[in-house]
Amino acid sequence: VDCDEHKSLCSKYGVSGYPTIQWFPKGSLEPKKYEGPRTVDSLAEFVNTEGGTNVKIATAPSNVVVLTSENFNEVVLDETKDVLVEFYAPWCGHCKSLAPTYEKVVTAFKLEEDVVIANLDADKYKDLAEKYDVSGFPTLKFFPKGNKAGEEYGGGRDLDDFVAFINEKSGTSRDVKGQLTSQAGIVESLDVLVKEFVAANDEEKKSMFTRMEEEVEKLKGSASRHGKIYLKAAKNYLEKGSDYAKNEIQRLQRILDKSISPAKADELTLKKNILSTYAA
């Protein structure tokens, strides 16, 4: 009821603040004021109790990795993963406010196999909360590959803050939508060599290509994978000429402008970013 428009009706039923929730049993105009929490579950429980119904509220699907005492060590202490953990309590208002943002963090990094976004009900698993010095909710801790003791996350609670933190700590290059940034795939040591490669004459280019191969051999992990893209681009540059990079970037952009899978978009964006160094 819009009490601004129907003042007399609201006054009749003793409404003095907003929102006011009242329950009118079947066949009665004598209301019962709802005094419980303003949560979906609490309201549903009240209606079920008063109305004799048994309605269950569907829980929105979550992509956050749910931790328990059984899987905590397996997930969080995995030396191949960077893991962000939210220690929360079901009754915590700040935790509920954070939940939608935390889901977006998961979405932003869903294609990063080495990044895990997880949470733990610290009210239920008090022993784990005590072990990691959790005294308030929500508490966020980051467990990087090289430090499984964990470090407290003290940054902001906006999506931008979380994305910037994980990019810095994990070496990823994602934006808030989960798309790769223009820096994704870039290897600084190879960028230096590419600039020399582009400026060199034809004979010098062959020598520079060998130097690039040697540099790629030193790389590890994702940098090694990106290094192979650098080498393929250099080889095509030698075979197809200086316009190759510019033309290929335009071709890749036309594909990226179409509706393609996120994984394919990642693959093409990495190539486009690396080719941009050759076209500079």
Catalytic residues: 92-95
State both tokens at 204.
Answer: 């010098």
What CA dihedral angle connects 194, 195, 197 and 199, to 10 degrees? 160
Chain-centroid distance, C-alpha 50: 41
Pick from 206, 192, 269, 268: nearest CA to 237: 206
Three-state SS annotation for 35-78: CCCCCHHHHHHHHHHHHCCCCCCCCCCCCCEEECCCCHHHHHCC
- Burial state string for 192-205 with b = 16 or more CB within 10 A and e = fewer than 16: ebbeebbeeeeeeb
Instruction: Give whole-number Cα distances, 41 to 37, 44, 47, 90, 210, in Å.
Output: 9, 5, 10, 12, 65
d(Cα 258, Cα 253) in Å, to the nearest integer? 9
Residue tagged 């003793």 (tokens): 14
d(Cα 251, Cα 46) in Å, to the nearest integer? 59
The DSSP bridge pattern shows strands 82-88 and 139-143 to be antiparallel
3-state helix, strand, coil in the chain (%, to 5): 50, 10, 40
Instruction: Give whole-number Cα distances, 276 to 123, 230, 279, in Å.
Output: 50, 11, 5
